[in-house]
Structure 1
Amino acid sequence: MNSQGQRIAAVLLAAGNASRFGAAKQTLAIEGIPMVRRAAMTALHAGLSPVVVVIGAYADAVRPCLAGLPVQVVENPDWTTGMGGSLGLGVRTAVAREAAPDALVVLLADQPGIRAAHLKGMIEAHATAPGHIHAAQFNGHLGPPCLFPRDYFEELASLQGQKGAQRLIERYFDCVDVHDLPAAAFDIDTPGDHAVWLAHQGID
């Protein structure tokens, strides 16, 4: 439970096969820490609990990167069907616990610019507008990290296919609070992206 007295979970998506990268980008070192582990630590430092990490492709390589962290790792055997299925599995896992969360944050493993302070900002905004979806805005786009209150859990849990949280953001746009978050614009999809990150040591 965070400082606002809310129980807010995290679903961290790390199941893809990184086809444009050509290898397990989830294990890439960012500031000396595997990227997926760093993202999980960010969620934990923001006070999110439980933190559910969905793995799939490269599961054998990704799972050890999370060793010792108080996170719940769940493997999606159907990761090839797309992000929606992985998100649905993560949400079902998070809400199946004895103490169901009041809200949850959807995170991607390949956004190394996201810091705990960014997530805490969304959590604070949720405290004042608890019925709204909160989504990052970057480069004219809305997407993760994004926070969904409990009313959206059932629909999130039923997601399948390629489209994940974006589907609900579009469907319920009138209920979305926008958070300008340039750091969310940088995701590592290719070796070139990783080289840029290393060269510039991240973005604020």
Structure 2
Amino acid sequence: MSTGIIILAAGNSSRLGSPKQLLHYEGKTLLERVSFEAIKTLFKPIVVVLGAYAEEIGMEHKHANISYTFNKNWQSGMASSIAKGLSTVLSLQKNIENVIITVSDQVFVSTEIFQTLVKKHNNTSKGIIACRYEKTNGTPTLFNKKYFEQLLSLSGTTGAKKILIENEDDMTTIPFEKGYIDVDTRNDYNNLINNK
């Protein structure tokens, strides 16, 4: 069953003051870390959605196995980046069965997490497989094609969380113990670096 990956990297890191996609951890930028984990899965296509800082990020990130797309409406919120990413995936592979939506600042996203999402979908036939951490469900999240129309019509800053809430009966989760660790502030980044 074919699965694509959308990496959301369009935000302007307003609380950090500089592009968090370009912060380094263990020798790679945060965006490179998730990109390389996606590439190792062999899931295709892999689409990175850029917005703010697209030029700076693009100068450092050029991978033959990844398609980069620019969301000119990135300021309107995450929903527009999800729609842009999915429409790009569909333009590359119109018969795709599933997409995994992930973000560029969850430092410990791994190939295994992506693969486990797909395995869980195959084993349960649930249309949504989310990651579970700190009593919440979140990214990375797999959506079956039956949710593509809803994803394409999202608006605002809420992302896809409302689709999870509205379809709990068709959703299950996998554990992602370190999923809560992301980088929103300079303090988050300092904690990450100092707690290695």
Using the size of structure 1 for normalisation, the TM-score is 0.92
Residue of structure 1 aligned with 2:190, choices 160, 177, 195:
195
Which deviates more, 17-26 or 164-173?
A: 164-173
Q: For residues 62-73 of structure 1, what are the structure 2 equivalents within 5 Å? A: 62-73=57-68
User: Structure 2: where are the runs of 5+ without partners?
Assistant: none
State the partner residue of 1:142.
137
Residue of structure 2 aligned with 1:92, choices 87, 91, 100:
87
Q: For residues 150-169 of structure 1, what are the structure 2 equivalents within 5 Å? A: 150-169=145-164
Residue of structure 2 aligned with 1:14, choices 9, 12, 19:
9
Distance verdict in 2 for CA 1:139–1:60, change over 3 Å:
same
Say how many residue pairs are matched: 196
Equivalent-residue separation in structure 2 for 1:152 and 1:68 (angstroms): 29
Could you list the per-position Cα deviations for residues 26-50 of structure 1 after superposition, in whole angstroms to 9, with x for gaps in the alignment?
0111211111121111111122210
What secondary structure does 2:48 align onto? strand
Q: For residues 16-165 of structure 1, what are the structure 2 equivalents within 5 Å? A: 16-165=11-160
Could you list the per-position Cα deviations for residues 77-115 of structure 1 after superposition, in whole angstroms to 9, with x for gaps in the alignment?
110000001101101111122453110100000001111
Equivalent-residue separation in structure 2 for 1:47 and 1:68 (angstroms): 14
Q: Is the 8 A contact 1:94 1:100 kept in 2?
A: no
What secondary structure does 1:144 align onto? strand
Letter in 2 for 1:59: A
Could you list the per-position Cα deviations for residues 45-95 of structure 1 after superposition, in whole angstroms to 9, with x for gaps in the alignment?
122210010000011111123213411100011100000011011011111
Equivalent-residue separation in structure 2 for 1:78 and 1:154 (angstroms): 19
Q: Is the 8 A contact 1:133 1:149 kept in 2?
A: yes
Equivalent-residue separation in structure 2 for 1:73 and 1:89 (angstroms): 11
Please identify runs of 4+ aligned residues in structure 1 that moved more than 3 A: none
Q: Is the 8 A contact 2:49 2:85 kept in 1?
A: yes
Equivalent-residue separation in structure 2 for 1:33 and 1:92 (angstroms): 28
User: Structure 1: where are the runs of 5+ without partners?
Assistant: 1-5
Letter in 2 for 1:107: T
Letter in 2 for 1:73: Y
1:170 deviates by: 0.9
Report percent identity of matched pairs. 27
Q: Is the 8 A contact 2:45 2:93 kept in 1?
A: no
Letter in 1 for 2:173: V
Using the size of structure 2 for normalisation, the TM-score is 0.95
Letter in 2 for 1:14: A
Letter in 1 for 2:101: V
Q: Is the 8 A contact 2:132 2:173 kept in 1?
A: yes
Letter in 2 for 1:161: G
Q: CA RMSD in A?
A: 1.2
Distance verdict in 2 for CA 1:47–1:98, change over 3 Å:
closer
Letter in 2 for 1:78: N
